[in-house]
Structure 1
Amino acid sequence: MTLQAKPNEPFAITPQDIEAAARRIEGHVLRTPLVPAPRLSELTGATILVKHENMQATASFKERGAVNKLLSLDEDETARGVIAMSAGNHAQAVAYHARRFGIPATIVMPETTPLVKVENTRSHGARVVLYGETLYESAQKARELANAEGLVFVHPYDDPAVMAGQGTIAQEMLDDDPDLDVLIIPLGGGGLMAGNAVAAKALKPEIELIGVEAALYPSFFNAVNAEDLAIGGATLAEGIAVKTVGVQTLPIVSSLVSDIVLVSEDLIERAVNAYACLQHTLAEGAGAAGLAAMLKEPQRYAGRKVGLVLCGGNIDTRLLAAIMVRELEREDRIVAFRLTTSDRPGLLGKVASLLGDQGANILEVSHGRLFLDVPAKGVSLDVTVETRGAAHSQAIEAMLRANGFAPHRVLPRGLAEPGR
């Protein structure tokens, strides 16, 4: 069933709730900087400012809502303890601040949660329960444990105190720069967007709010537009990979957000890489979703002042390394050639000299004589080189062809590209 907001239905939070949250969390979370991003701006033609929520103690915005919720508990609730379900960032935020406030915490996480987030959560002193493949299954388990053990359930997004805490982000952004024209905010369950939509519209009614979802998880897109796009799959943006939108967040999003943009996995990868290489900061997939939306439609934002919320920076370093290498391949800055020629002494030296003369840096060489698609007196060489870009790669390919090596590009999946 598609949920729709009722006309004139009161929202779960008010601007006054957000102002109260700002006073409550002050001193417990970082007032993160809103930083100009000139190199990111060059990619889109917009003036981009980035709210660096990856600078929080647990590297995500989730601390704001978690602190507001935890400090709203009474003595009995504090003594009983809390339980939360999360793919990682909410888990770390609840665990970290629960320990600070002396509140017992249990976190239920999907079994597919990245190891770095699981270990970080445990390191904050929480009991971690791994259950299910999705947040939906984890939520069911968390509610079972809450009922059985008398724990207070801290929802990651569908909770007024959590939503109000997240709304302090837009409040700070517009305090730092009232001239922002657009806020682009990642959409998972909607807590981040709902809180910030209420705050932003109260401070600047004409501001445009754009939500961003991973194309594999168009939950809000479906709910708001009465669509039925398929939901599910392995996404880099696991922090916003939510199948069920919030009951309390949906009316706010459907009423105040002008558009919901779906971004593909390759755009999310490009955005993560751009944050690392151009902004010199870490963004996880969900944290980079706003920039991915701008990369999808740069003309839409040209000439406008855009605020991006880099909502999280918890990314596995091995995954980040793989993303950066894949981006080098997309830009033709890492290229592999398959050379087939006659086997003769000094062949490798000649190839190396030719590549060196072209200014190519050899990264890897695979030397094969036993393949059946190679003549008995022939040899196959797979050479991976680092180049200065597409034009340089084309010059290297032309040089190899001119020297009789009949080069074929080897695609990232490891297959020779036909006809090249």
Structure 2
Amino acid sequence: MASATSTTSLVTLDTFRAAQERIRGVAVHTPLIPFSLPGGSSISAWLKDESKQPIKSFKLRGAYNKIAQLSDEERRRGVITYSSGNHAQGVAYAARAVGAKAVIVMPSNAPEIKKQATLALGAEIVTVGPSSSDRKIKAEELEREHGYVMIPPYDHPAIIAGQGTVGLEILADIPDVDLVLAPVSGGGLLSGTAAAIKHLRPEVRVLGIEPALAADAEESFRGGSLVSWPAEMTTRTIADGLRTQSLGDLNFLHVRAFVDDIVTVTEDEIREAMRTIVRSTPIVPEPSGAVTAAALLFHQDKLLPAVKAVAVMSGGNVEPEILKQVMES
């Protein structure tokens, strides 16, 4: 675990616990589903099924934690964010719950299922180019022009605190867990989950998992400084929720302080993990959610000496056509 960061910027255990209380009754305490590993593996594994959230993704946790803390005046102004889909739904759902207008800047290559779900929650969508920088720039422009309140997708303490409630739930359900795997894109889920767990159980290993085709987080982690990958590289992966070009600044601080390693998985491994999950559990994962299962299935050498492992299955908003192609290949 790296430790080259000031503790003053890090989300505290009290803040994670406050977020847990704030989202109670809105976000779901999601179940752990047993996940059998092949070849007589010594690891007992579970998938934490975030597709059981009302928006079928963990993103509701952070979005609601942030929006629930807005003043009445801020709610009247409305909120804005930028997202490829799951955070879009989280913000739309949370904004509707508190009676605020939501505007979402989405990339042109966002899955149609995520666009339609966002519209169904009452949000207004603005479409831009495929890169994550495009949508961030446009959202900030609209924020200035209309006075909306920005709800960042990952680089904010309230977002990190909300996503970190995943870690608190894992420890509550399996107190003797010794390995937790979380997908990593902008870093909200990984940084929050790792920090919440390490505050309580510093001996638990927490790993980030990302596609090899969008491995900016691994490069940043290995090199010790934040790097960004161009959109034409990160958009190659089937895992549309993990195409962010760089970790957030605050997320990277948490990753360096609390994360033990970052492991990458191939596109074939993600697809095979999806097939295995569908065939052996009641879960239907999106590609981004299957990366942790891919690590369990294909990279156990990097996970040992784990005995009890939990892999966060971050979402189930998969395009029907993508699922059909994966299952038939």
Shorter-normalised TM range: over 0.9
For structure 2, the 5+ residue unaligned runs are: none
User: What TM-score results when the alignment is normalised by the length of structure 1?
Assistant: 0.74
Q: 1:281 aligned to 264, 280, 283, which one?
A: 283
Determine whether 1:324 maps to 2:327: yes
Distance (Å, rounded) in 1 between the aligned partners of 2:218 and 2:301 = 22
- 1:45 and 1:298 in contact (8 A); partners too: no
What are the residue-to-residue correspondences of 1:153-302 with 2, within 5 Å?
Answer: 153-226=150-223, 231-301=233-303
2:28 maps to which residue? 30
Distance in 2, Cα, partners of 1:123 & 1:94: 13
Residues 339-363 of structure 1, C-alpha deviations (whole Å, 9 max, x = no match): xxxxxxxxxxxxxxxxxxxxxxxxx
Does residue 95 of structure 1 match 2:113? no
Change (3 A) 1:300 1:216: closer
1:36 to partner: Cα distance: 2.1
- Please give the per-residue CA displacement for 1:227-260, whole angstroms capped at 9, x wherever unaligned: 8796434211110111121010101101211111
Distance 1:268 1:203, change over 3 A: same
| Structure 2 CA distance for partners of 1:260 and 1:301, relative to 1, 3 Å | closer
Cα deviation, residue 10, structure 1? 2.5
Name the CA distance, whole Å, in 1 between partners of 2:253 and 2:302.
26
Larger % of helix: which? 2
Q: Which amino acid aligns with 1:30?
A: V
- Whose radius of gyration is greater, 1 or 2? 1
- 1:82–1:151 CA contact under 8 A, matched in 2: yes
Instruction: Work out the CA distance in 1 between the residues paired with 2:298 and 2:178.
Output: 19
Select the residue among 57, 60, 63 that pairs with 2:60: 63
Cα distance in 1, alignment partners of residues 71 and 7 from structure 2: 29
**For 2:270 and 2:173, how far apart are their aligned partners in 1?**
27
Residue from 6, 15, 18 that aligns with 2:16:
18
Please list every run of 5 or more consecutive structure 1 residues that lacks an aligned counterpart in the other structure: 327-420
Structure 1 residue identity aligned to 2:158: A
- Aligned partner of 1:314 in structure 2 is 317
**Superposition deviation, residue 11 in structure 1:** 3.1
SS of the residue 1:170 aligns to? helix
CA distance in structure 1 between the aligned counterparts of 2:99 and 2:114, rounded to whole angstroms: 21
Q: Is the 8 A contact 1:218 1:229 kept in 2?
A: no
Equivalent-residue separation in structure 2 for 1:41 and 1:167 (angstroms): 30
The answer to whether the 8 Å contact 1:111/1:130 transfers is: yes
The 10-residue stretch of structure 1 (39-48 or 89-98) with the greater mean CA deviation from structure 2:
39-48
SS in structure 1 of the partner of residue 144 of structure 2 = helix
Query: What per-residue deviation string (whole Å, max 9, x for no partner) do you get for residues 113-157 of structure 1?
Result: 011111110011000011111121101100000110000010110
Aligned with 2:262: secondary structure?
A: strand
Letter in 2 for 1:267: E
Quick one: which amino acid aligns to residue 34 of structure 1? Answer: L
Report the CA distance between 1:40 and its aligned residue: 4.0
Change beyond 3 A, Cα 1:320–1:170: same
Structure 1 Cα separation of the partners of residues 41 and 83 of structure 2: 33
Q: 1:115 to 1:266 in 2, by over 3 A?
A: same
CA contact 1:44–1:299 (8 Å) conserved in 2? no
Alignment partner, residue 361 of structure 1: none
What residue identity is the alignment partner of 2:129?
A: G
Supply the distance in 1 between the matched residues of 2:235 and 2:107 (Cα, whole angstroms): 14
Correspondent of 1:304 among 280, 303, 307: 307
* Distance in 2, Cα, partners of 1:43 & 1:239: 32
Establish whether residue 85 from structure 1 lines up as the match of residue 87 from structure 2.
no
State how far apart, in whole Å, the 2-side matches of 1:229 and 1:195 are: 21
**1-side partners of 2:179 and 2:278: how far apart?**
23
Cα distance in structure 1, aligned partners of 2:80 and 2:10: 22
Q: What is the deviation of 1:34?
A: 1.7
Distance 1:109 1:208 in 2: 34
What is aligned with 1:404? none
1:203 partner amino acid: L
Identity of aligned residues (%): 36
Separation (CA, whole Å) in 1 of partners of 2:196 and 2:215: 24
Which whole-Å deviations, capped at 9, do the CAs of 1:11-46 have from their partners, x for residues lacking one?
331111100001111111111112222x34667542
CA contact (8 A) 1:273 1:324 kept: yes
Correspondence for 1:391: none
Give distance in 2, aligned partners of 1:43 and 1:254: 33
Could you tell me how far apart the structure 2 residues matched to 1:229 and 1:23 are? 35
* 1:121 aligned to which of 118, 123, 128: 118
